[in-house]
Amino acid sequence: MIFHEYVAKGSVRGRDGTSISNVADNLHDVTREVSSRCRSGTYRFTTYRQRLLLKGAGKAPRELSIPSVRDRITLRAYAELLTATFPESAGKLPQTAVAQVAAEVATGKLNAYVRIDVKNFYPTVNHDILLAELGTKIKKKEVLRVVRRAVATPTAPDRSPRPRALLTSGVPQGLSISNPLAEIYMRPVDKTMGAIPGISYHRFVDDILILCDHVDAQVVDEVCRKALKAVHLDAHPKESSGKSEVGNVADGFGYLGYVFSSTIVSVRHASVVRLESHLASIHATWRQDLARNVQPEIAFQRFLWNRNLAITGCIFQGTATGWIQYYRQLDDYSLLKRLDVTVNRLAMRYGVPEHPRPKTFMRAYWIIRHPRSRSTRYIPNFDRYELAQMAEELKNTGTNLVGMSDQQVEDAFYRMVSRAVRDLERDIGDVS
């Protein structure tokens, strides 16, 4: 059931303040009401709660929209309807796109690239064009009406007045339907570019890369920009801080946080620096915990847990998360060795005991690339943890389990891992 699989384990609340437990206690009535209103096309969404996600110095934050618990159930049901009706709207992992680009570059057949990034993609999606595209396969007006309300519902911070006006353009980010709708909206662009012979077209959401012959590069760039204009989207101008550009493959280019050349696949410098900063902060936090009189053994166990997690990443809620998990398509082994040296130098600088030895980026990389050849226990899969393992991790890192029920232990472990996963996601940063 959607509630138990996608909503029950969450902890983020919407603007209405309704808790997950409250909905769970009245789940039958809630789902019956949701179903009735969706079938009649009269379902209305609560104003989404605003959450701002920092993207770095000099960049405007990204606005995420947090729906209420009831709306989360509804939106997930519609997300499943969309992906069932438009299978291509399920999208693909960025690593899949990167692997395809790397394979194409390795052939050496195409010597130029065109990179195009859309300006303010999600906020500028035209609702009429989106609904027309949905209408090519979805004929029930009630379904289209609810989808329109979902994207028209405004987002606002806590304690601010509820906006009265509905949105006339844009798709709120952070909803379970956001990515499927983005993929559906870009179908006309994909169709136009996919019909051009002699090119290799790749797109991840609004980040487009086209490999082609250098004599065709300028024309391909113009065709793609016109296709975007046809759906009311504007691309960044060429040479705009790496957002959009035309160049030679031999000179190297960036895409989705990776750096490609004719000989190697590596990672952009900013992402490496971000990871190294996170590793340094983990060491510094350990020393700060000791200074705050946290029990030495608990402080050390927290440190080991966070350090190893930053190195190997993890599996959580069916998703591989972490720096090395995201950049598993690289083949720049010197970078992995450099990162392992960085970990050892930080350990020496902060006086970390030699044992146990830290996990390594190099070994984690090889286990990810060749999962059958080594123990998969090296990289934690939190989805497979039994209650006893959860309790042990919590106890080691300082959680008092006295008086806690099994469900409370599971919830506490989920919250701990969720916080850690958010840190791992920040290591990767904004890849577009």
Name the β-bridge partners of 391: none
Contacts of 345 (CB under 8 A, 6+ apart): none
Q: How far apart are CA 315 and CA 57, in angstroms?
A: 30
Q: How far is CA 171 from the centre of its chain?
A: 16
pLDDT beyond 90 at 370:
no
pTM of the model: 0.88
Banded model confidence at residue 430, pLDDT cuts 50, 70, 90: low
Look at residue 242 in the predicted model and tell me its pLDDT.
64
pLDDT tens, 232-283?
Answer: 999 998 865 567 899 999 999 999 999 998 889 999 999 999 999 999 999 9
pLDDT tens, 7-59?
Answer: 777 767 888 888 888 888 888 898 999 999 999 999 999 999 998 877 666 67
Per-residue pLDDT, averaged over 377-390, amounts to 93
Per-residue pLDDT, averaged over 422-429, amounts to 81
pLDDT tens, 74-97?
Answer: 999 999 999 999 999 998 888 899
Cβ proximity of 182 and 174 under 8 Å: no
HEC string for 92-103: CCHHHHHHHHHH
